[in-house]
A and B are shown apart, each in its own frame.
Chain A
Amino acid sequence: MPRVVVDVMPKPEILDPQGQAVARALPRLGFDGVSDVRQGKHFELEVDDSVDDATLAKIAEGFLSNPVVEDFVVRRVQS
């Protein structure tokens, strides 16, 4: 069964305090050289062949993401 991945990220102009907190923690843990972290969401959907790209876009835009503050990318990783 095909797998579809949807990645949802805060838009670049939206403050991401969770990502910032991760970025600030890294030097304290001894990891240098990471200048920025953005935190988002990763969804894996097992879908029937009948689910077309337009439907996937509707799922991603209308439910998995909030287009006011988030961008999304839909990828088929297995077919």
Chain B
Amino acid sequence: MRVGAVTFPGTLDDTDTLRAIAASGAEAVPLWHGDADLRGVDAVVLPGGFSYGDYLRAGAIARFAPVMGEVIDAARGGMPVLGICNGFQVLCEAGLLPGALLRNAGLHFVCKDQWLKVENNTTAWTSRYEPGAEIIIPLKNQDGRFAAPRSTVDELEGEGRVVFRYLGDDPNGSLGAIAGISDKTGRIVGLMPHPEHAIDALTGPSDDGLGMFLSALDSVVAS
């Protein structure tokens, strides 16, 4: 089982993501933005950071990187893809997920441990969680406010595609306190908080994040 993590110029969390992939038991495969090659991986994670300095819009330039053509083709073919933070922004810019991530409503960079509710545990990245599980993982972003036309939000809610929701105060003004969503198939998931920073209670607030990486392995085995 091979799971890749993409490094763009300005990506910060590729190392922790590769570490989380390895901790889940998969072979962690570094992928490079400039190579149109997924190196035979079974699933892909787009990690967080500030690709291309967030110039223009967060994720707007990264989505045209050579590796993204391969990611988009593979995602449309059913490969599990997870976008974390900046990776979520890239997936939205690429049109693989609906909506957009805008400047936090409070204008502050938010950095804290955040409780989330797992609203959908049937996606490729959440099957290891109990229904309605409450998890705590780090949240750290400047542009984390999920925005979309009302009709899109209604569709996401109606189809169970709100995968994660913030518990407590909405930290960034996201519509419906949405922290993460999926595509129609449940194989492409994006979220603002960082599961890769919460795989070991020694260094994170919990090991609640590991379940996402384990879920993807189950999903690949099942397909």
A residues sitting closer than 8 Å to B (CB atoms) are 10, 14-15, 17-18, 21, 63-64, 66, 68-69
Q: Size band of the B side of the interface?
A: 10 to 19
Residues of A within 8 A of B104 (CB): 17
Question: How many whole Å from A22's CB to the nearest CB in chain B?
Answer: 11
Contact (Cβ within 8 A) A68 B98: yes
Contact A17/B106 with A63-B60, A64-B56, A69-B147 known, Cβ cut-off 8 Å: yes
Give the residue among A10, A21, A63, A64 with the most B Cβ atoms within 10 A. Answer: A63
Q: Is the interface of A mostly helix, strand, loop or mixed?
A: mixed
What are the 7 tightest A-B residue pairs by CB atom distance, in nearest-first order? A69-B100, A68-B100, A17-B105, A17-B107, A69-B147, A66-B100, A14-B147
Within 8 A of A (CB), among B91-122: 92-93, 98-100, 102-107
Question: How many whole Å from B147's CB to the nearest CB in chain A?
Answer: 5
Question: How many whole Å from B146's CB to the nearest CB in chain A?
Answer: 10
Selected contact of A18 from candidates B56, B98, B107, CB within 8 Å: B107
Within 8 A of A (CB), among B102-151: 102-107, 145, 147-149
Q: Is the interface of B mostly helix, strand, loop or mixed?
A: loop
Residues of B within 8 A of A10 (CB): 102
Q: What sequence of 0s and 1s flags, for each residue 151-173 of chain B, a beta carbon within 8 Å of any chain A beta carbon?
A: 00000000000000000000001
Tell me whether B57 is interfacial, beta carbon within 8 Å. yes
Contact (Cβ within 8 A) A17 B60: no
A66, B93: Cα distance in complex, Å: 8
Q: Could you list 4 further interchain pairs (A-B, Cβ under 8 angstroms) beyond the known A18-B103, A68-B98? A: A14-B147, A17-B106, A66-B60, A66-B100
Give the residue among B98, B145, B147, B173 with the most A Cβ atoms within 10 A. Answer: B147
Residues of B within 8 A of A66 (CB): 57, 60, 93, 100
A63, B63: Cα distance in complex, Å: 10
Residues of B within 8 A of A69 (CB): 100, 102, 147-148
